[in-house]
Structure 1
């Protein structure tokens, strides 16, 4: 039991360190394509892999760490005005990140007892859900937070006809990033988690 706890703590420390590197080293965790819009992030991959290995509770904890780093970056070194406006709000920074980690662990936990082929499909699904949860929750919470003053955000999102719902604008501007992230994470999670699970079981 003690050895398992040490292994779990070691894995957690490694993933937190990886998350910090992705957050604070340019173009590793956040890859900026368009200078005016939020960057495409590879961090959902880290969250999905960790949650698939460690389960929903610890997945939510690492999601919380991600949310806190997002909040810190929004106040100290935002890359664009949209990120500044969105992620300085603790709800937008924290809730999607925590739920992304929790859902990833929950899905993987369900598939853990299945045969190898089904388990890999579960990891693929887990990866896609991690990214999509983050994207959809950011858009949903932001739509609610800026409901009374959408112009303060839409000014930086491009030219849209007056009266276009904020939720739709955010889906059009941020949804592409979310789709790219979801495909990338869905493909990579089973490739990483499958051998790591084998190594951890032998430890």
Structure 2
């Protein structure tokens, strides 16, 4: 038991270090393609891998950590005005991050006693779900929170026709990033998780 706790602590420390690098080192965790809009982030990949390895409770805690870093980043070094406006709001920072940490752990737990093929398939699904959960919840929460006062936010998202619904503008502005993130995370997650799960099972 003590050996397992030490191993889990070491894994958590390693993932925290990786996540800090992704957050604060330019072009590692946040890759900017379109100026003025939020960057494509590799953070969901790290969250998905950690949650699949450590379970839903640990994944949720890691999601809380992600949300906290989002708030800190928004106040200290926002890369664009949209990110500043969005992620200084604690609900937009924390709720998508927490859910993105929880869901892959639940998917991994549900498939842990299944065949190897089913497990690997579940890792693909978990990766996509992690990224899509984050993107969809950010869009939905933003549309709800800024519904009555969207002019400032709309002004930074591009040239949209007058009267364009905020949620439509968000889907156009953020949806492509979210789709790219989801595909990337779905492909890479099983490549990382499968060998790590094998190593962890042998180390018990």
TM interval, short-chain normalised: over 0.9
Q: TM-score, normalised by structure 1?
A: 0.99
Deviation at 1:35, TM superposition (A): 1.6
4+ long deviations beyond 6 Å: none
Per-residue displacement from partner, 1:150-189 (whole Å, max 9, x unpaired)?
1110001111122221111101110000000000000001
Map of 1:69 onto structure 2? 69
Q: The residue matched to 2:147 in structure 1 has which SS?
A: coil
Query: How do 1:39-118 residues align onto structure 2 when only pairs under 5 Å count?
Result: 39-118=39-118
Map of 1:156 onto structure 2? 156
Q: TM-score, normalised by structure 2?
A: 0.98
Counterparts of 2:100 and 2:4, CA distance in 1: 25
Counterparts of 1:138 and 1:128, CA distance in 2: 15
RMSD of Structure 2 on Structure 1 (CA): 0.6
Aligned residues: 203
Counterparts of 1:194 and 1:89, CA distance in 2: 36
Deviation at 1:41, TM superposition (A): 0.1
Which consecutive unaligned segments of at least 5 residues does structure 2 have? none
Deviation at 1:47, TM superposition (A): 0.2
2:26 aligned with 1:36: no
